[in-house]
C-alpha cells in the first residue's frame, strides 16, 4: 500500500523555514509534494492570477514554486495533469506560517487561502500558523501528528481547519469560534516629497 499524498503549500515562499521543517516531519509517514510561491506572498488572500502566465519551476523532485499567489500554487498543482502531484492529494497542508492567522486574518491570509482552495476542490485541508514566540519545532511536531490523525480518520471532504500555535510550547488543542481582530492603526499617511 502506498503512502498517503500530502500537498504542502504556504504564503512565505518555498524556501521558508517553517515549510521545510514541516516537510521533513510529514515525510516520516507520507509522500510530500511542495508547491509554494517563489517569493513572499503574505496577505494575498484568495486571489488568483488571471492576466499573465504563471511560471512553474521544479527545484528538485517533489519541490515546485509558482510565481503567483498561494491559491495559485494549489490551483496549479491540482490542475497540472500530473506535472506536480502524481495523483489527487489525500490532504493539503498550508504552513507553517510565520505569525498567527486569527479572526479577520483568515480573510486576508494567503496561508488560509491555499488550504481553502483545496477545500473548494473537495480535498481536506489544514492551515497551520505559529506565533513568532511559539516553539516552532513543537508546533511542527503537533501539526504533523494532527495531519497523520486527519489522514487516518473519517472526515467530511469539505473540511478546512485553521490551526494556530500561541507563544510557548505547552498547548492543548481546542476548537474555537472565529473571532474578530481589527487593525485600527495599520495605515500611516505621509506626504510624498516629490508631489
Q: What is the pLDDT of residues 131-155, one digit of tens each?
A: 999 999 999 999 999 999 989 776 6
Kindly state the average pLDDT of the residues 162-166. Answer: 96
Give the per-residue pLDDT at 158.
63
State the average pLDDT for the chain: 93
For the chain, what are the domain ranges?
5-165
Give the per-residue pLDDT at 180.
86
pTM of the predicted model as reported, rounded to 2 decimal places: 0.92
Q: Which of 128, 130, 160, 120 is nearest to 145 (CA)?
A: 128
Q: Which of 113, 100, 108, 111 is nearest to 19 (CA)?
A: 111
Bridge-based pairing of strands 125-130 and 160-165 is: parallel
> Do the beta carbons of residue 170 and residue 136 sit within 8 Å?
no
More confident residue, 157 or 121: 121
Give the per-residue pLDDT at 74.
98
**Residue-wise pLDDT tens digits, 65-94:** 999 999 999 999 999 978 999 999 999 999
> Do the beta carbons of residue 34 and residue 95 sit within 8 Å?
no
CATH code 3.40.50.2300 for 5-165: no
**What contacts 27, CB < 8 A, 6 or more positions away?**
none
Give the per-residue pLDDT at 117.
97
pLDDT tier for residue 157 given thresholds of 50, 70 and 90: low
User: To the nearest 10°, the Cα dihedral for 84, 86, 90, 91?
Assistant: -10
Kindly state the average pLDDT of the residues 55-65. Answer: 97
Amino acid at each position: 500500500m502506498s503512502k498517503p499524498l500530502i500537498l504542502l503549500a504556504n504564503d512565505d515562499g518555498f524556501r521558508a523555514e517553517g515549510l521545510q521543517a514541516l516537510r521533513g516531519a510529514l515525510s516520516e509517514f507520507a509522500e510530500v509534494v511542495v508547491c509554494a510561491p517563489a517569493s513572499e506572498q503574505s496577505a494575498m488572500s484568495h486571489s488568483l492570477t488571471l492576466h499573465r502566465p504563471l511560471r512553474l519551476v521544479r527545484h528538485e523532485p517533489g519541490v515546485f514554486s509558482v510565481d503567483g499567489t498561494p491559491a495559485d500554487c494549489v490551483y496549479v498543482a491540482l490542475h497540472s495533469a500530473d506535472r506536480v502531484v502524481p495523483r489527487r492529494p489525500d490532504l493539503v497542508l498550508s504552513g507553517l506560517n510565520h505569525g498567527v492567522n486569527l479572526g479577520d486574518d483568515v480573510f486576508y491570509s494567503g496561508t488560509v487561502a491555499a488550504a481553502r482552495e483545496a477545500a473548494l476542490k473537495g480535498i481536506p485541508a489544514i492551515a497551520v500558523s505559529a506565533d513568532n514566540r511559539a516553539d516552532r519545532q513543537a508546533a511542527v511536531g503537533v501539526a504533523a501528528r494532527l495531519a497523520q490523525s486527519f489522514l487516518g480518520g473519517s472526515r467530511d471532504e469539505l473540511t478546512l481547519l485553521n490551526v494556530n500555535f500561541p507563544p510557548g510550547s505547552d498547548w492543548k488543542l481546542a476548537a474555537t469560534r472565529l473571532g474578530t481582530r481589527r487593525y485600527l492603526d495599520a495605515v500611516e499617511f505621509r506626504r510624498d516629497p516629490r508631489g
